[in-house]
Every structure is written in C-alpha cells, then in structure tokens.
Amino acid sequence: MTSTTREHMYRLYSKGEAWATLLIAGDATRGSNPEVPAFVEGAPVSGEVSLNLASSDAIHTVVVSLRAQIITGSLPSEKFTFYEDTRTLWSSSPTTKKLKGRHTWPFSLSIPSTVSLAGEEFRSPQSFFERHTRGQIDYELCVRFMRPKLRSDHRLSTVIEYFPVSKPSPPSGLRQLAYAQNTTLLGPDSDPEGWKILPTVTMRGRFDSQTVGVSCMLSLATPLCYTRGTSIPCALQIECSNPAALNLLAAPDSIVLRLRRNVRFLSREVWNDEFQLSEMATWWWAGGSAGLGSLEESTETLISDAHVRRTLKGEIHLRAGLVTSSTIAHYRLEYAVVLLPFDAPGYESLDSEPLIVEPVEIASDLADGPCPLTYSTP
C-alpha cells in the first residue's frame, strides 16, 4: 500500500474463524465515506481473495465480478445493469475437486470511461446514493464461492464508489488574466466573451398596496460548466419604476438565486424528476471593492425619468462534494441555476414558478489555466 491507497477487508466466518477474505485497495484521497472503497476513472479495481479452509470444501468455482447498475426502485425490473465484468479466479478440475488449506488469488478489474448502450456512447457516471432519492447509480464488487446444486453458495460483496474525471473548457482570456493577477472580474460589458447574458424577465408582486413590475437581467460566467469546490460568477441588473420597491428588492438579501439539482429517471414508463435546491448565491453591490468589478460605473443608473437600474454582482459557492453531472440511458443527474421569486419583508410575489432556469454542468477537476478565485465567503 501507498499513502494514497486504503485497504478494505471483508470476511466470512465459520465457528468464529475467518475462512474467506476479500481485500481491496481503494483510493484514500477520494470518497464520501472512508469505509467504502473509492476508485478514480482509469484506476484498476484490484485486490485479492483468500481462503483458509480447515477441512476439504466442495467449492467448484470462485468468481469475482464488478457490476454497475441504475436503480430506480426495489423491483428487479427497476434495476438496469449497464456494465459487468466477471473473472473466474479458480475452478475445479478432475485432479483438484475440493479445496483445503490456504489459497490466494489476486484480481484486477476495470470500470470503463465510457459504455455503449443501444449503439450510443455514455460516460460512466459517478456513484450516487441518497436515502430519500429513488434514482441511484450503484457499483458493486462481489466474490462468489459456488458449490454443487445441493450445497449452498457463499458470497462476499461491497459497494464501491466510482469517480469519473471531467473538467470545464478554459474561460475567456480576460477572466484567466484576472485569476492570474488576483484582480476582480470584468463584467459582461467589458468581457462579452466571458459571459452569457440571459433574456430579461419580469417579476410581479405587491408592495405598499401597489402592483409593481421589476425587470431582471441575469448573466453567468462562461463556459456554463463549473468545478465543484469553486464558484459560479453571476451578475444581475434590476430595473423598476418604483424607487422604494427597487431599494427593497435590489438588496443582496432579497435575491434568491440558487443551484438546483435534478435526478431524472424513467421508471415504469414514466419520467420522474427529483429536485433539490442547494447552494444560494452571495450578492454585493456592483460598486463594492471586493468582487467581480463594476458592470456599470456605479451601483445605480438612471435609465429614464421613470426607471432606475441597479447592478449587483455575486457568486454561487459550490460544495466540494457535489456529484458531477451525468447522462446514461434512462438516467440523468442535471444541474441548473434558478432565479426564484424575490423574498423581502413587505413584498408579496405574484410569481409561483422560477423566473429563470439555466442548465449548467458540474465537473470534477479544474480547467486548464490559472486556478479560479472566489470573491466572497458563503
């Protein structure tokens, strides 16, 4: 073993003595649970199987297998195997019909980076299991000790975690320069190649016994693929003809911009969506000194006699443990940045659905170039 590997041992016992042992060498630097073997894309799933038999045993085959499944329920029809690798470690012969004493068989299996299903190529997805989510990605390593028909077989098995490797394309040159020089990011006006400006939306609500309309234009830093553990730079322009309503709704604490995960899967011929809202954006005034840089010369711009625009900048902090985006067969793990109705005291939103839903991807590794900076604390 090296400092980057961790041994995991599983045993079968008889009369208090271990007679079968499965030893796996996992990656010590990855994994959400140190008790579960972890493997990064490209690394072999290796280990050894050992027997210590005090008396002869009529085992006729020892088989190790690695199986990857999409699980959407408890029924057999709701478990779909998208990859399986099986190796025979030992089988009986006319000269060796029974096993006795000590035996050890090393093995090395692999999880492919891509799998082909119905003529279509998919990247092998990251392991995924949550107690209250039906759509799961399961990787299992199993050793079977097979005996004649009238004798019971034994098996040793464990779930393993698989981590594919992905990274965004490099950001714009100006954004890379800001990261390299530890300076603020330029906004969409100064770095149009570095941002996606989304269509303007209008939200409506009641404020001070009046119905007010507020226009919002959201921009997200491109490419729309972000590394977990970093952040999503954002910019928001808000316009309103009611100065008091603008002061209330353009406050950083009033804006509700979040990262939303959707586990989407087909079960019993029906597509299911399981949404989870996670990270909330942190906002500050565009004229502030620690941030993305002014999108305008000042925080507030007079558009006309009736309308005022206020500009804010922000970022969504991404947890290091986020599961990466994936698509395979009838399973999707997707992300989107969603702008929800604003939340402020004295304001009653007339909108019930998200104002903006913009799909994004979450990757495992950093893009080529300077390391991204964050400009705020969560």
Between CA 78 and CA 66 the distance in angstroms is 19
Residue 39: closest CA among 55, 25, 22:
25
- The position carrying tokens 């981590």 is 163
Tens of pLDDT, residues 160-205:
999 999 999 999 999 999 999 999 999 999 999 999 999 999 999 9
Asked whether residue 323 carries a pLDDT value surpassing 90, the answer given is yes
Q: Is 262 helix (H, G, I), strand (E, B) or coil?
A: strand
Tens of pLDDT, residues 119-144:
999 999 999 999 889 999 999 999 99
Q: Virtual CA dihedral for 168, 170, 171, 176, nearest 10 degrees?
A: 130
Average of per-residue pLDDT across 38-49: 96
Angle at 210 between CA 205 and CA 214, to 5 degrees: 40
Residue 197: closest CA among 250, 234, 249:
234
Between CA 131 and CA 136 the distance in angstroms is 10
**Pairing of β 225-227 and β 356-363:** parallel
CATH dotted code for 5-163? 2.60.40.640
3-state DSSP: the chain helix, strand, coil percent, rounded to 5?
5, 55, 40
* pTM: predicted TM-score of the whole model, two decimal places: 0.91
Q: Where in the chain is the domain with CATH 2.60.40.640?
A: 5-163, 173-363
- The position carrying tokens 């699980």 is 71
**Pairing of β 356-363 and β 326-328:** unpaired
Tens of pLDDT, residues 9-25:
999 998 889 999 999 99
Residue 91 tokens read as 């089988």
Average of per-residue pLDDT across 222-249: 95
Say what the pLDDT of residue 144 is.
Answer: 96
Residue 37 tokens read as 């073997």
Phi, psi of 73 (to 5 degrees): 180, -175
- The position carrying tokens 């000042």 is 298
Tens of pLDDT, residues 263-318:
999 988 889 999 999 889 999 987 654 444 443 434 666 566 667 889 999 999 99
Neighbour tally for 265: CB within 10 Å: 24
**Pairing of β 114-117 and β 120-123:** antiparallel
Between CA 361 and CA 223 the distance in angstroms is 9
Q: What value does the mean pLDDT of the chain take?
A: 91
Angle at 31 between CA 232 and CA 328, to 5 degrees: 70
- The position carrying tokens 């029809």 is 77
Please name the residue ranges forming H helices in the chain: 173-181, 243-249
- The position carrying tokens 């016994």 is 209
Say what the pLDDT of residue 279 is.
Answer: 84
Cis amide linkage into residue 345, ω under 30° from 0: no
Between CA 73 and CA 68 the distance in angstroms is 15
Average of per-residue pLDDT across 85-91: 95
Q: Is 322 helix (H, G, I), strand (E, B) or coil?
A: coil
**Structural contact between residues 247 and 285, judged by C-beta atoms closer than 8 angstroms:** no
**Structural contact between residues 236 and 283, judged by C-beta atoms closer than 8 angstroms:** yes
Q: Is 2.60.40.640 the CATH classification of the domain at 173-363? A: yes
Between CA 207 and CA 222 the distance in angstroms is 35
Residue 210 tokens read as 């009046």
